């Protein structure tokens, strides 16, 4: 006699019958509040009618996928993070899903990523330079997705492990190096206002000046956006000042290279007429002419540590320290010259 067992009903079938998307059905199943009441009632009625069985509290089988999420992907800085994450996940036989929550996309971009995350059932997520606000944190908890943040945009949430670098110390070291080379008018190209790392590097620059008894001049600080074009614009502004600096410390290598171009257009030679220091130690820093003195930030190692930390969370293991800052170090090349030498 032929059995009467019915095939399992899929979420896709429910979505088709309800006239909604699969992520919408997933949101209803996960009890999320961002579904219109009429839509929720229709989906829930079909779930009962079709006899769809929820998984209850049981955990689904691991997918072996981890989401790595950036605000933007147009920086070589991101490539270094990706390299470290991919190597660590590969060692665990896990795969990487690369995503971008574009700053200009706002809440819509975040929502699209959350929908895709729920649909593919990733085991965890690594967020880079992201402000883990209460909404995003709550949604990730509702999806039961563990998360680690690399280089947090705002004050770190102690409930979420964060991996960063000693931005303040690195900036102090760079500023002290320029002062040791007899520079006193030191311009600073700051990072994007509001970011945690930007504030730390600006504070480190000011602390370095203060420790040497050098007065802070706000006219020598220009905000940038960590990219080449903003570094160029800041460099031009500083170098056309009535009393231009003899040295410029940029809060990223890309901005430092923008300063290089500003100096070239002003007819200045580096380091003969202007000393420049960057921050990150990207491969481009060593390729520049002259090679750029910069603060090494262990970007690849930060990505690798973030991935290993996330794997521990996925396995239900504890994390000893919720907040880790990896050491920075000054790499001296050829873009700094002692003033008066």
Q: Are both 159 and 304 inside the same structural domain? A: yes
Instruction: Read off the pLDDT of each residue in 328-337 and give the average, rounded to a whole number.
Output: 98
Domain of residue 149: give its range. Answer: 65-164+299-326
pLDDT tens profile 279-292: 999 999 999 999 99
Confidence band of 164 (pLDDT split at 50, 70, 90): very high
pLDDT tens profile 30-42: 666 667 888 888 8
User: Is 171 contained in some domain?
Assistant: yes
Task: Quote the percentage of the chain above a pLDDT of 90.
Answer: 60
Q: Are both 71 and 154 inside the same structural domain? A: yes
How high does pLDDT run on average in the chain?
A: 88
Confidence band of 5 (pLDDT split at 50, 70, 90): very low
User: The CATH number of the domain where 83 resides is what?
Assistant: 3.40.50.2300
Residues 114, 119, 143, CA angle at the centre, nearest 5°?
55
Task: Check pLDDT > 90 for residue 306.
Answer: yes
Q: Are both 181 and 101 inside the same structural domain? A: no
Instruction: Read off the pLDDT of each residue in 107-134 and give the average, rounded to a whole number.
Output: 82
Contact predicate 311/94, CB 8 Å: yes
Instruction: Read off the pLDDT of each residue in 120-148 and give the average, rounded to a whole number.
Output: 83
| Per-position DSSP letters for 98-162, written without gaps between them | EEE--GGGHHHHHHHHHHHHHHHT-SEEEEES----HHHHHHHHHTT--EEEES-SSSPPTTS-E
pLDDT tens profile 246-294: 999 999 999 999 999 999 999 999 999 999 999 999 999 999 999 999 9
Q: Are both 243 and 253 inside the same structural domain? A: yes
Task: Check pLDDT > 50 for residue 322.
Answer: yes
Q: Are both 280 and 187 inside the same structural domain? A: yes
Query: CA torsion 55→59→65→69, rounded to 10°?
Result: 90
Instruction: Read off the pLDDT of each residue in 302-331 and give the average, rounded to a whole number.
Output: 92
User: Is 224 contained in some domain?
Assistant: yes
Number of domains in the chain: 3
Task: Check pLDDT > 70 for residue 156.
Answer: no
DSSP state of 244: -
Task: Check pLDDT > 90 for residue 22.
Answer: no
The reported pLDDT for the residue numbered 2 is 42
The reported pLDDT for the residue numbered 216 is 98
Alpha-carbon distance of 225 to 223, in angstroms, equals: 7
Q: Which of 58, 78, 97 is the last residue of a domain?
A: 58
């Amino acid at each position: 006699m032929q059995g009467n067992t019915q095939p399992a009903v899929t979420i896709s079938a429910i979505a088709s019958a309800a006239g909604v998307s699969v992520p919408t059905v997933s949101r209803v199943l996960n009890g999320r509040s961002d579904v219109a009441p009429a839509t929720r009632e229709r989906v829930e009625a079909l779930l009962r009618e079709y006899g769809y069985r929820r998984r209850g509290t049981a955990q689904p089988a691991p997918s072996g996928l981890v989401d790595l999420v950036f605000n933007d992907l147009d920086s070589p800085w991101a490539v270094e993070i990706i390299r470290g994450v991919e190597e660590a996940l590969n060692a665990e036989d896990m795969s990487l899903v690369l995503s971008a929550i574009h700053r200009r996309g706002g809440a819509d971009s975040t929502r699209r990523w959350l929908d895709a995350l729920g649909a593919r059932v990733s085991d965890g997520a690594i967020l880079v330079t992201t402000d883990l606000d209460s909404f995003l944190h709550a949604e990730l908890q509702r999806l039961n997705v563990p998360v680690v943040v690399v280089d947090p945009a705002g004050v770190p949430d102690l409930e979420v492990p964060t991996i960063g670098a000693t931005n303040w110390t690195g900036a102090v070291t760079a500023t002290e190096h320029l002062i040791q080379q007899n520079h006193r008018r030191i311009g600073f190209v700051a990072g994007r206002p509001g970011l945690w790392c930007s504030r730390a590097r600006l504070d480190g620059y000011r602390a370095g000046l203060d420790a040497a008894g050098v007065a802070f001049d706000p006219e020598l600080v220009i905000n940038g956006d960590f990219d080449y074009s903003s570094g160029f614009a800041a460099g031009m502004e500083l170098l056309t000042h009535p009393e231009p600096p003899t040295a410029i410390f940029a809060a990223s290598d890309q901005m430092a290279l923008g300063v290089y171009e500003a100096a070239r257009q002003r007819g200045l030679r580096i380091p003969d007429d202007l000393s420049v220091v960057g921050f990150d130690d990207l491969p481009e820093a060593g390729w520049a002419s002259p090679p750029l003195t910069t603060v090494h930030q262990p970007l690849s190692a930060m990505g690798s540590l973030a991935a290993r930390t996330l794997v521990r969370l996925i396995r239900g293991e504890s994390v000893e320290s919720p907040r880790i800052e990896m050491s920075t170090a000054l790499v001296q090349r050829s873009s700094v010259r002692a003033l008066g030498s």
